[in-house]
Structure 1
Amino acid sequence: MHAEYYLPVKVLHLTSMNKGKTFSISVGKGINKEEISLDFMLKPLLLLLVIWFVFLLDTFLNLRMYEFGVFPQRWQSLLGIVLSPILHGDLKHIANNSLPLFILLSAIYFFYPRNAKPVLWISWIFTGLMVWFFARESYHIGASGLIYAFASFIFFSGILRSNANLLALSLLIVFLYGGLVWGLAPIEERVSYEGHISGGIIGVVLAWYFRKSEPRSFKSERLAFEDISDDLSHEIEKYGQDYWMGHTARNDYPLTIHYHIQEKKEPNEKPNSIS
C-alpha cells in the first residue's frame, strides 16, 4: 500500500484501507435550519492543518520524526502516544488518512456535538496506550487509529440509539468505509493493524458509554392546522397586487345557473323545468 523507503528501523504505518471514497452530510427537513453552521468543520480542519504542517516540516528538514511515534513498552516512547497520530511516513500515507479523518471527525462534531471532544481525546490517548502495551516492537505512526475509532463510534452509536437518522448514518458508514475491516487483519507487514484494532475497540466502548447522551436534536417541520392562515397580506406584499389579479380566476360576465326540481310523478309525466 505504501511506497517502500529505507529506514534504520522498521516503521509501521497506521493508514486507512479505503481510498478515494467521500461522502457529504446533507441537511434535510428534520434539522432545524437556524442551527446549521459550518463550525463543526473548524476543529477537524485545524487538526488536518497541523498534521500536514508537521509532515511538510519533517519532509523538507529531514527531522526523522517517526522516532517520536509509539514504540511499544519503551518508557521513553510514551510521548509517542500523543504525537504519533500527527506523524506520517510519506505522501501516500498522509493522503490516505486525511480525507477520512476530516469527514468522520466532522460527522461526530455535527451529529454528536456534546460527545465530540471527549470522543476525540479519549480515542487519541487510549488508542495509543493500547498500541504501546500490545503492538509489535516497531515505531507506529499515523492517524488511522483515530479513523477506526471514529468510524466504530459512529457505527455503533447509531445501532445503540433508537434514532432513525443516526441509524441511517451508521449504514452510510458501512457503505462508504466498510473496507476498513480489511485493515484489522495482518495482511501487510508495514501496516499497523494493532493500531486499527485498538481504535475500533475504543470506538465501541465510547459508543456504549455515551449511548444515553443526547445527539443533535432533529426538529420536525410538520405543518399544523394553526399554521395555515387566510391572511394573504404577506403574499400580496411580496408579489404585488398585479400578480394576484393576473393569477386569480375572474368572473366578470353574467352567470346563468340551470337546475331542475323533479317530483315523483307518473312515468309518462315530464318534470318541471326552471331556469
Structure 2
Amino acid sequence: MKHDIRRIALAAVIPLFLLFILYLLKFLEVGMDWDFRRLGVYPMEQRGVFGIFAHPLVHGSWRHLLANTLPLFFLSWCLFYFYRHIASYIFFAIWIGCGAFTFLIGKPGWHIGASGIIYGLAFFLFFSGILRKHVPLIAISLLVTFLYGGLVWNMFPFFAKETTSWEGHLSGAIAGTICSLAFMGYGPQRPDPFADEEETPDEEPGDEDSIEDSIEDGVEPGIEPGAENEISVGKTDQPS
C-alpha cells in the first residue's frame, strides 16, 4: 500500500512542477507588464525557432492557462504513472515534436500554449494502450477517449475558432501517435499468459540406454530381481 501511494505521489512531481513554472511565468508576465508571446512558434521564420522549445510555457490569458491546467496535469500524471520508466523520453519527444511540426505547418503568427502537449499526451495514451493490448493501459485509452474525445474537432480548421492554433493541436496529435509506435517495444508490456507454466525437464542423456540395457538383462527397471511386484493404490494428484 505504501509503495502504491509513493508511486502515485512520484508520478505527480513533474506535472506539478511544470504547472508551477507555467503559473510563475504568467504571474511575471502580468505583474511586470511583459509580453511573452514572442517565445512562441512563428512558422518558417528564424525568429520562431526558439519557440519550438518554449511555446508550451506561454499562454495568452489566464483563461487559456486555466483551461489547460487540469488536462495537462491528469494526462501527464497518467504518462508518468503507467509509463514511468520511459515517460521522460516520451514527454520530451512530444514537446519537441509538437513544436517542430507546428513550425512546419502552422499559419503565420505566434503559436503559444500547452494545448499541443495535451493533444500529444492524449493520442499517445490512447494508441499506446490499444497497440500494447495490456488491460490497464487499454482502460486508460478508454478513459482518455471518454474524457477528451471531443478534442479531435479542434484539430481541423473547419471546426476550430479563428484564434485557435489547430495546427498546434494537430502537431501534438501527430507527435503523440508517432511516439506510441516508436516506443511500443519499451515500457510496460502485455504479460505472457504462458510465462508461469513449468517446463518439463528433458531426460538426461543415457537414460534410454540404461533402460534398454536393463530389459536386455531380463530385469525391469526399478524392480529388484526376485522381489514381488506390488501395486500401490493411493490418492493420485489431480492437476490444479
TM exceeding 0.5: yes
Shift in Å at residue 55 of structure 1?
0.8
* Residue matched to 2:51: 80
Match of 2:116 among 141, 145, 161: 145
**CA distance, structure 2, for counterparts of residue 109 and residue 152 of structure 1:** 15
Could you list the structure 1 runs, at least 4 aligned residues long, displaced by more than 6 angstroms after superposition. Answer: none
Aligned to 2:10: 39
The correspondence of residues 184-199 of structure 1 with structure 2, limited to 5 A, is 184-186=155-157, 187-199=160-172
Aligned residue for 1:200? 173
Q: What is the match of residue 133 of structure 1?
A: 104
Q: Distance in 1 between matches of 2:105 and 2:136?
A: 36
Instruction: Tell me how far apart the structure 2 counterparts of residues 150 and 63 of structure 1 sit (CA, whole Å).
Output: 30
Give the whole-Å Cα distance in 2 for the aligned partners of 1:118 and 1:86.
19
* 2:78 aligned partner: 107
Matched residue of 2:138: which SS?
Answer: helix
Higher helix share: 2
2:133 aligned with 1:162, yes or no?
yes
Is contact 2:132–2:190 with CA below 8 Å preserved after alignment?
A: no
In the aligned structure 2, how far is the partner of 1:179 from the partner of 1:191? 15
Secondary structure of the 2:163 match is: coil
Worse overlay, 42-51 or 66-75: 66-75
CA deviation digits over 1:44-95, x for unaligned, max 9? 1000000010011111212111012111111122111111100001111000
Contact 2:132-2:189 within 8 A present in 1 as well? no
In structure 2, what residue type is equivalent to 1:34?
H
1:212 aligns with 2:185: yes
Give the letter for the 1:129 counterpart.
A
| Structure 2: stretches of 5+ with no match in the other structure | 192-240
Whether contact under 8 Å (1:112, 1:216) holds in the other structure is: no
What SS is found at the alignment partner of 2:107? coil
**Structure 1 vs Structure 2: percent identity of aligned residues?**
37
The answer for unaligned runs of 5 or more in structure 1 is: 1-31, 219-275
Rg (Cα) greater in structure: 1
Cα RMSD for the two superposed structures? 1.6
Partner secondary structure for residue 190 of structure 1: coil
* Contact 1:161–1:211 (CA under 8 A) maintained in structure 2: yes
Larger RCO (CA under 8 A, 6+ residues apart): 1
Measured in 1, the distance between the counterparts of 2:131 and 2:149 equals 19
* CA–CA distance in structure 2, aligned partners of residues 119 and 196 of structure 1: 17
Question: Are the counterparts in 2 of residues 110 and 216 from structure 1 also a CA contact under 8 Å?
Answer: no
